[in-house]
Amino acid sequence: MPIEIVRVPVLSDNYVWLVHEATSGETLVVDPAVAEPVLAAAEARGWKITQIWNTHWHPDHVGGNAEIKAATGCIITGPAAEAERISTLDVQVGGGDVVQLGGMRAMVLDVPAHTAGHIAYHFATEQVAFVGDTLFAMGCGRLFEGTAAQMFDNMRTLEALGDATAIYCAHEYTLSNARFAVTVEPDNAALQQRVSDVVAARERGEATVPTTIALERATNPFMRARSVEELAARRAAKDAA
């Protein structure tokens, strides 16, 4: 694969993603909550960080921007709709724009709901998407600044990327999401098997993301919601759980 992706666990349950494009030597950071572990991970591999891509403005996704930029001189790209809330942005983008890492092109997708200007980045040729807090393994982001209708549309947008697409989200929420999911679809055999797999993985101290669109279509109660109303009810129930 022309790009190499490394998971950097930070804070209590965040994942920062390092993406290295070997031909150009460029290295990208997606949603750096903090700087030090990210800089250390890049240095350990001999990679020079040249870019940061933010999906939304929340501090646990942009908190490392300034320090990483100071250390590396990297260019920071993020959602134009949230530029007033991300003071470190150099490049503002929105849905339909294309961003590049070396020779690799990624399409920007508008996926508002968790925040009003949330975006995702899709490398179509690599079948990889970085989705921030929009889609999780068996979950979706809380509707802090948007609506269930927007999140329902987001599920369709991401679903259309294709079953083989690997989904890199920003948190290890899978076990909690799994426990809720089985209350929604207790007779879903694929979900029961996945929950068993997730419990075993977490007991071994293993990460459960990235996930895939195929897995989410089979087991994610929010992607599987058949209407906006059903998604809204499921989101409200999860928030109250």
Per the residue annotation, which of 20, 60, 118, 122 is the catalytic one? Answer: 60
The yes-or-no answer on residue 171 being catalytic is yes
The yes-or-no answer on residue 58 being catalytic is yes
Per the residue annotation, which of 20, 114, 118, 122 is the catalytic one? Answer: 114
Per the residue annotation, which of 13, 20, 31, 58 is the catalytic one? Answer: 58
Q: Which residues of 36-64 are buried (b: 16+ CB within 10 A; e: fewer)?
A: ebbbebbeeeebebbbbbbbbbbebbbbb
Per the residue annotation, which of 61, 110, 118, 122 is the catalytic one? Answer: 61
Q: What is the CA radius of gyration of the chain?
A: 17
Per the residue annotation, which of 20, 118, 122, 171 is the catalytic one? Answer: 171
Q: From residue 200, give the alpha-carbon distance in Å to each of 6, 103, 124, 196.
A: 22, 38, 31, 6
The yes-or-no answer on residue 133 being catalytic is yes
The yes-or-no answer on residue 61 being catalytic is yes
Per the residue annotation, which of 56, 110, 118, 122 is the catalytic one? Answer: 56
Report residue 237 as tokens.
Answer: 């129930």
The yes-or-no answer on residue 122 being catalytic is no
The whole-angstrom separation of Cα 221 and Cα 234 is: 8
The yes-or-no answer on residue 60 being catalytic is yes
Per the residue annotation, which of 31, 118, 122, 133 is the catalytic one? Answer: 133
Active site residues: 56, 58, 60-61, 114, 133, 171
